[in-house]
Amino acid sequence: MKAYMTEGKNRVHLENFNADDLSFSPDDKQAAKKELKKLRKRLITLQQLLYAENKHKVLIILQAMDSGGKDGTIRSIFKGVNPQGVQVAGFKVPTPVELAHDYLWRVHHKTPARGEIVIFNRSHYEDVLVVRVHGLVDEQVWKKRYQQIVDFERLLVEEGTLILKFFLFISKEEQRKRFIERVENPEKQWKFNPNDIDERQHWDAYMQAYQDVLDKTGTKFAPWYVIPANRNWYRDLIIARILVAQLEKLNMSYPQPVENIEQYIEVLRNA
């Protein structure tokens, strides 16, 4: 999966990434779905271990253009996990209270505690993306935020958080198809916002902003993964592989049971 990973060592050029890429897929789509099913089961086990061990923290960051598949990724990959140990945090337009604080204030208190997986559906990166593209703050302000974000994530990592950052990369043409589907499908019309069309006019500016995010905030301790996302099944497969591989590296184990636990079997049978 290193083919999709960027640590900020070299200049990132998104035109070198292919949103239709299927380089690491099995022989066919059905084989991919079968593998994804196995990965989901493994993820459920690993999440139970994480929760029981109560030692590590996992933060998953999903960023994408509108219709990029953040919601679908969460639904697909985390199907069946224990909701007690997995939470989703969304970051929409800041409230007046949030705007009265520094831009990381609303983010920090939603990061995971020990034993938790927290998924950010959008994140603090909006403050160097939409804020930049729409000129909501001065350039000298948002330019400082790259290093501030790196320092913030370094703090989280040093405090025991595993950070996995995914940019779900779709093509402009694929976005157009998905918007049309939303308008035509009665079950998806609620998702469509006319402002999405206005945002689409800023596509090139967003791509430049994402390139800078990948360059300036991809680090060894919190790398970015640029995930080809034109095909949902491939997107889910690659992300699930990465998640399982990274969680397995934590070498987790269940806590030791109470001493001489066997003696309680007979007690319980007679209780």
Output the CA angle 27-20-36, nearest 5 degrees.
Answer: 45
Distance CA(193)–CA(211), nearest Å, equals 26
What mean pLDDT comes out for the span 157-179?
A: 97
In this structure, are residues 57 and 161 in contact, taking their beta carbons and an 8 Å threshold? yes
> Higher confidence at residue 57 or residue 27?
57
Q: Which residue did the predictor score with more confidence, 151 or 13?
A: 151
pLDDT exceeds 90 at position 110: yes
Q: What pLDDT is attached to residue 268? A: 82
Write the pLDDT tens digit of every residue in 127-158. 999 999 999 999 999 999 999 999 999 999 99
Above pLDDT 90, what percent of the chain? Answer: 81
* pLDDT tens-digit map of 250-262: 999 999 888 888 8
pLDDT at 7: 79
**Lowest mean pLDDT, pick from 89-93, 124-128, 171-175:** 89-93
Whether residue 263 has pLDDT greater than 90? no
CATH class of 2-254: alpha beta
Q: Which pLDDT tens digit goes with each residue over 181-235?
A: 999 999 999 988 898 899 999 999 999 999 999 999 999 999 999 999 999 999 9
Helical residues (DSSP H) of the chain, grouped into ranges: 29-53, 70-77, 96-99, 105-108, 130-133, 139-158, 172-184, 195-200, 203-217, 232-248, 263-269
pLDDT the model gives residue 10: 65
Residue 3 and residue 213: Cα distance in Å, rounded? 18
Bridging pattern class, strands 224-228 and 117-121: unpaired
Burial string for 44-60 (b: 16+ CB within 10 Å, else e) reads: eebbebbbebeebbbbb
* Residue-wise pLDDT tens digits, 40-69: 999 999 999 999 999 999 999 999 999 999
pLDDT at 264: 81
Rounded CA separation 163/59 (Å): 5
Specify the pLDDT at position 9.
62
> Which pTM does this prediction carry?
0.94
Between 9 and 117, the more confident residue is 117
Give the DSSP letter string of 172-231.
HHHHHHHHHHHHH-TTTGGG--THHHHHHTTHHHHHHHHHHHHHHH--SSS-EEEEE-SS
